[in-house]
Amino acid sequence: MKSIAVVGANLAGGRAVEALRAAGFDGQITLIGEEPWRPYERPPLSKEVLWDPANVPDNFFLQDEGWYAENRIDLRLGVRAEALDLTASAVQLRGGDHVRADRVLLATGGSPRKLNMEGADAANVHYLRTRDDALRMAADLVDGARIVIVGMGVIGAEVAASAVRLGCRVTAVEPLAAPMIRALGPQFGHWLGEEHRKRGVDTRFSRGISGMKVTDKRVTAVQLDDGSLIECDAVVVGIGIEPATSLARDAGLTTNNGILTDRQCRTSNPDIFAAGDVAEQEGFFGGRIRQETYQNAADQGQAAAQAMLGQTVDYCKPIWYWSDQFDLNIQFCGHIPVAAKVTVRGDMESNAFAAFFQAGDTIEGVLTVNRAPDMGVGKRLVERRVAADSTRLADPDFSLRELLKAAR
Ligand SMILES: Cc1cc2nc3c(=O)[nH]c(=O)nc-3n(C[C@H](O)[C@H](O)[C@H](O)COP(=O)(O)OP(=O)(O)OC[C@H]3O[C@@H](n4cnc5c(N)ncnc54)[C@H](O)[C@@H]3O)c2cc1C
């Protein structure tokens, strides 16, 4: 194998090319990205970049500018890959260029799902995925601005917290009963909703939006399905992403809610791999899932690189992510099993606690709020499917490491 092309120059693609060189691959590597930037971090986009757009954090990019040239990575930025030519083993770029490659990694991520109503594309209606999206949004999140957040998943909840910090007057509309309820379950979703409310967010949960009032190409009010009209200066929409599967689908690869991959990160074509937010992979607890987390994109990008080089890879990990909102560092690993036994360790009142979700005695999910050290151990408890007595889990004096030792 002499050449590898990676389509998608962000986290999964960026980590993949690093791993290819780290593993000693000496052939041609081409990294193709539609955005004009070399791979960068998205997590600061809903936090530090909004707080202070003029001072993007120092570690914003994955690598220094010179790293790609020094490592002989042919970086093709600002250009879209338009098709995979499987007979010629090539990636076809917009503008007519072809990149020949023996193996291809698709790390194309996804783009924000749009509202389907009048005003959805107005200049003051924001969707957040890229650096440019964040900079445009930041210009509207000014002291005193009236901001309506539509959708309180991770992105909506993080932007709500950042907007409050910037002095905006925030109304959050969410059709489910609480923010992040799919991820955290009802008990902790309601806890989080209350934290937003206490910090000044006007929470409108179990409510959808039925329309937007547009004046001079700007949305000036959002109409809720209970008839109320919320006047606003800008709208932030966080209603999920559409995985960028079109290249794969058009080439005849198997896709569903993502590009289907096996535990070697291989698609239905043996020379094409996929990783990151776009990959639909085997779930750690069964079934198939598409993860939208930083850690998965980084780890699966590296795993795919190793698999492309013929190394043995068996990639199947539980979800792990973090989210920072106000003074809350929220981390979650695993999943919430059906009829989960829920045990809280620590003090929910003071926002320093962990929660364990068990199927029978087996720990399948761990949530920590401002207790990151518990997550360090919690992740391993989930990965090793450790069983535990819930009274011990609830005891803050009991060392979770004891459970790991016993499981060994
Ligand atoms: C605002 C924000 C905050 C986040 N915060 C957190 C957090 O706190 N914690 C956490 O765990 N996760 C967080 N995430 C999620 C995490 O950043 C993503 O899971 C990760 O970026 C996914 O990486 P990826 O490389 O798979 O996809 P992406 O980052 O989407 O990168 C895919 C790249 O491929 C390019 N591309 C797509 N199609 C083509 C094509 N045909 N040709 C060329 N290029 C193409 C796209 O332009 C894009 O640059 C956050 C995400 C966002 C948007």
Residues 6+ apart with CB under 8 A from 162: 46, 47, 50, 51, 141
Rounded to whole angstroms, the Cα distance separating 406 from 408 reads 5
Q: How far is the CA of 388 from the centre of ligand 1 (A)?
A: 36
Rounded to whole angstroms, the Cα distance separating 294 from 291 reads 9
> Which pair of structure tokens corresponds to residue 171?
């109304």
Contact between 119 and 125 under an 8 Å Cβ cutoff? The reply is yes
Render pLDDT for 113-151 as a digit per residue (tens, 0 to 9).
999 999 999 999 999 999 999 999 999 999 999 999 999
Q: Whose CA is nearest to atom 26 of ligand 1?
A: 276
Res. 24: pLDDT tops 80: yes
Render pLDDT for 312-325 as a digit per residue (tens, 0 to 9).
999 999 999 999 99
In short, whether 124's Cβ falls inside 6 Å of ligand 1 is no
Res. 152: pLDDT tops 80: yes
In percent, how much of the chain has pLDDT > 90? Answer: 97
Q: Indicate the domain borders of the chain.
A: 3-111+241-308, 114-237, 327-407
In short, whether 7's Cβ falls inside 6 Å of ligand 1 is yes
pLDDT at 54: 93
Other C-beta atoms closer than 10 Å to the C-beta of 23 total 13
- What is the pTM assigned to this prediction? 0.97
In short, whether 42's Cβ falls inside 6 Å of ligand 1 is yes
In short, whether 245's Cβ falls inside 6 Å of ligand 1 is no
Fold for domain 327-407? Enolase-like; domain 1 (3.30.390)
Res. 58: pLDDT tops 80: no
Q: How far is the CA of 269 from the centre of ligand 1 (A)?
A: 24
Q: How far is the CA of 400 from the centre of ligand 1 (A)?
A: 33
Q: Is there a shared CATH topology between the 3-111+241-308 domain and the 114-237 domain? A: yes
| Of 58 and 339, the one with more pLDDT | 339
In short, whether 11's Cβ falls inside 6 Å of ligand 1 is yes
Q: How far is the CA of 203 from the centre of ligand 1 (A)?
A: 28
pLDDT at 370: 98
Res. 94: pLDDT tops 90: yes
Res. 56: pLDDT tops 90: no
Render pLDDT for 164-183 as a digit per residue (tens, 0 to 9).
999 999 999 999 999 999 99
pLDDT at 59: 85
Tell me the pairing of strands 234-237 and 229-231.
unpaired
Q: How far is the CA of 68 from the centre of ligand 1 (A)?
A: 19
Which ranges of 143-180 does DSSP label H, i.e. alpha helix?
154-165
Spatial CA neighbour of 17 closest among 129, 1, 28: 28
3-class secondary structure, 366: strand
Strand-pair partners of 224: 209
Average pLDDT over the chain, rounded to an integer: 97
| Of 57 and 368, the one with more pLDDT | 368
Q: How far is the CA of 321 from the centre of ligand 1 (A)?
A: 14
Spatial CA neighbour of 216 closest among 290, 119, 285, 302: 119
C-alpha distances in angstroms, 268 versus 204, 261, 262, 264? Answer: 44, 7, 9, 11
CATH class (in words) of the domain with range 114-237: alpha beta
> Which pair of structure tokens corresponds to residue 250?
């058009």
pLDDT at 406: 87
First to last CA, the chain: 40
Q: Which ligand 1 atom is nearest residue 323's CA?
A: 8
Render pLDDT for 267-301 as a digit per residue (tens, 0 to 9).
999 999 999 999 999 999 999 999 999 999 999 99
In short, whether 105's Cβ falls inside 6 Å of ligand 1 is no
Q: How far is the CA of 226 from the centre of ligand 1 (A)?
A: 35
Rounded to whole angstroms, the Cα distance separating 146 from 148 reads 7
In short, whether 110's Cβ falls inside 6 Å of ligand 1 is yes
- Mean pLDDT on 200-223: 97
Contact between 358 and 335 under an 8 Å Cβ cutoff? The reply is no
Domain 3-111+241-308 has CATH 3.50.50.60: yes
Q: Which ligand 1 atom is nearest residue 81's CA?
A: 42
Q: Is 387 exposed, middle or buried (0-12, 13-18, 19+ CB in 10 A)?
A: middle
